[in-house]
Structure 1
Amino acid sequence: MFPKLRAVAAQWTVVVPVAAFVVLVLTWKRDLPGWGVGLVAYFLAGAVLAAVHHAEVIAHRVGEPFGSLVLAVAVTVIEVALIVTLMADGGDKAATLARDTVFAAVMITCNGILGLCILVGALKYRVAVFNAEGTGAALACVGTLATLSLVLPTFTTSSPGPQFSTTQLAFAAAASLLLYGLFVATLTVRHRDYFLPVTAEGEVLDEDDHAHPPTTRAALTSLGLLGVALVSVVGLAKAVSPTIESAVYSAGLPSSVVGVVIAMLVLLPETIAAVRAALRNRVQTSMNLALGSALASIGLTIPAVALATVWLSGPLVLGLGPSHLVLLALTVVVGTLTVIPRRATPLQGAVHLAVLAAYVVLAVNP
């Protein structure tokens, strides 16, 4: 019975990403009726679940922390391509699109995903245990990159408004790329053990499962299908965005709410994968996914949009407003206090989720 169920599941995870991509091609840049939006939402959910499955197959093959890195980078690369495409389309909102998307990703990953995983892991296993060396290094990189890219433009004076001059933008892009590259090298080569799951006694767990890893062929197949699924997730999220925008405007909400909703849809695969890792008492894997995604979002988006400004017209506003500056500072402080003890209770998870709730409330009612 179980082999048959596994066979059906395997066929499902192959068919759904391909079908979702076909739906994406057929609906791209089209005005969709109500039933069309429902169809897109259905395949969007299927593509999310398929992406999580294939990411876990790859993670099982290559081991941690490489598996977390694959999913984080794959999602971010596609997200960056979407941002640049939307910026090329122009419009009044293009100037702040990169800033709003990156900040939404940072708040969702560093407070939403991280807080939810701590809460789930601590409720099931009493405390959520992780490695402070690796998690602290990742959090330090997130705080530094966020400050260099999103805080400094608010206070510089070379250009009018909360934006960088050309020289300052080039520096921020180079620093983001360099720090992210150093983080990846630390994660995968020099200090890989800092990012592996640990037990309550501090013992490093180098193996995530006792089952035999998939073959190289199966992992490469999952890698290709993961790419198809993630392209479909981001593209279908973009396809339903006009409906979301209409609902937001009809409700009299600010346009920033649209960015929050789209960011949540795009980050669904990482959220599900991180929560499932926390349920297996692999909270460090959840931390790798959350903070790695935040780092990839800044470290890849800022250089990409800096390069795009060479041929794109219009200003690039990166500086955060006062309320967002406060939330970013609070996120770094709370994150530091969470990481230092090497373990967390449900209270710390709830604190992070409260910060995310404050961000969502201020997006709805600034």
Structure 2
Amino acid sequence: FQITGANLYLSVLFVLATITLDMPNFTLTAPGPIYSTAQLAVISVVTLLLYAVFLYTQTIRHRDYFVSGANEAAAHGEVMSDRETAISVVLLLVSLLAVVLLAKKFSLVVDVVTVKIGAPPAFAGLVVAALILLPESVAAVAAARKNDLQKSINLALGSSIATIGLTVPAVALAAYVLDKQLVLGLSNQHMLILLLTFMVSMLTFGTGRTNILFGLVHMVVFAVFVFMVFVP
């Protein structure tokens, strides 16, 4: 896979995760783990700006950084018609609407299951996050099984950036409108796991090639994170 593209993914992801999940614990204007109104507004704008510039870089300015050599010619040759683009946009909006409508009902099921099995409140968040990332995860695994690692990385890391880059500003706006306090800062335990993930990612994505051991290392980190949700 393209090292330059992977580095761009990681640099944006590391910055987004740090300023939204770690930095709130160390601010002085408001007691952690929250941002003050002014801080949250600035962080939201910066997050959206960084995500927008990343999309421009990925899709227009340096598109070749995110396309493997084997699929480069095919990727450049695929041009959607106006009709296909319009249909895709409509279907995307319909799908998003369906997700929003179902989320409210599904959250009740998750809450009931959480109480029934005696899981901590973080379990509900873990389930919701897994469902949100499920489509990209399935597609990423399918691409990896076909040995198309570039596509797999684009899906996996791209969805991670989008999750932070779009969710945090949206939730920040909702918190401001509803006059709610938004807690962003991670616990010390989760900050350590996030730091470990950063370090492992720099090593595993730094060569342009991957293998089963690199994948296992990431899965072990994820398994430890899930276990700590139940047994903190």
- Normalising by structure 1, we get a TM-score of 0.59
Q: How does 1:132-211 map to 2 (within 5 A)?
A: 132-199=3-70, 205-207=72-74
Distance in 1 (CA, whole Å) between partners of 2:178 and 2:96 is 26
Per the TM alignment, residue 148 of structure 1 is displaced from its structure 2 partner at its CA by 0.8
Contact 2:67 2:75 in 1 (8 A): no
- 1:244/1:288 CA distance change after superposition, 3 Å: same
Task: Tell me what 2:214 maps to.
Answer: 348
Per the TM alignment, residue 248 of structure 1 is displaced from its structure 2 partner at its CA by 1.6
- 1:167/1:176 CA distance change after superposition, 3 Å: same
Deviations 1:156-203 (A, max 9, x none): 12112311122221221122112111111110111110000245xxxx
Per the TM alignment, residue 216 of structure 1 is displaced from its structure 2 partner at its CA by 4.8
The yes-or-no answer on 1:271 pairing with 2:137 is: yes
Per the TM alignment, residue 154 of structure 1 is displaced from its structure 2 partner at its CA by 0.5
Deviations 1:281-339 (A, max 9, x none): 32111111111111112112222233333322231111110111011101111111011
Distance in 1 (CA, whole Å) between partners of 2:33 and 2:99 is 32
Local SS of the residue matching 1:309: helix
The yes-or-no answer on 1:283 pairing with 2:138 is: no
Local SS of the residue matching 1:205: helix
Deviations 1:83-130 (A, max 9, x none): xxxxxxxxxxxxxxxxxxxxxxxxxxxxxxxxxxxxxxxxxxxxxxx1
Aligned to 2:189, which of 307, 315, 323?
A: 323
Distance in 2 (CA, whole Å) between partners of 1:223 and 1:311 is 28
The yes-or-no answer on 1:220 pairing with 2:86 is: yes
Distance in 2 (CA, whole Å) between partners of 1:191 and 1:208 is 13
Per the TM alignment, residue 229 of structure 1 is displaced from its structure 2 partner at its CA by 3.0
Distance in 2 (CA, whole Å) between partners of 1:216 and 1:192 is 21
- 1:175/1:214 CA distance change after superposition, 3 Å: closer
Distance in 2 (CA, whole Å) between partners of 1:189 and 1:215 is 18
- 1:321/1:207 CA distance change after superposition, 3 Å: same
4+ residue stretches of structure 1 with deviation over 3 A? 212-220
Task: Tell me what 2:108 maps to.
Answer: 242
Distance in 1 (CA, whole Å) between partners of 2:93 and 2:41 is 30
Determine which structure has more spread, i.e. the larger CA radius of gyration.
Answer: 1
Count how many residue pairs are aligned between Structure 1 and Structure 2.
232
Distance in 1 (CA, whole Å) between partners of 2:202 and 2:137 is 21
Local SS of the residue matching 1:269: helix
- 1:209/1:275 CA distance change after superposition, 3 Å: farther
Percent of residue pairs identical: 43
Deviates most, 146-155 or 312-321: 312-321
- 1:182/1:214 CA distance change after superposition, 3 Å: closer
Distance in 2 (CA, whole Å) between partners of 1:280 and 1:361 is 30
- 1:338/1:304 CA distance change after superposition, 3 Å: same
Deviations 1:338-365 (A, max 9, x none): 1111000011111111111111111122
Per the TM alignment, residue 214 of structure 1 is displaced from its structure 2 partner at its CA by 7.2
Contact 1:198 1:282 in 2 (8 A): no
Aligned to 2:165, which of 265, 275, 299?
A: 299
Contact 2:48 2:165 in 1 (8 A): yes
Task: Tell me what 1:16 maps to.
Answer: none
Task: Tell me what 1:364 maps to.
Answer: 230
Letter of the aligned partner of 1:131 in structure 2?
Q
Contact 1:237 1:265 in 2 (8 A): no
Distance in 2 (CA, whole Å) between partners of 1:209 and 1:144 is 30
Contact 1:162 1:319 in 2 (8 A): yes
Letter of the aligned partner of 1:331 in structure 2?
T
Per the TM alignment, residue 264 of structure 1 is displaced from its structure 2 partner at its CA by 1.2
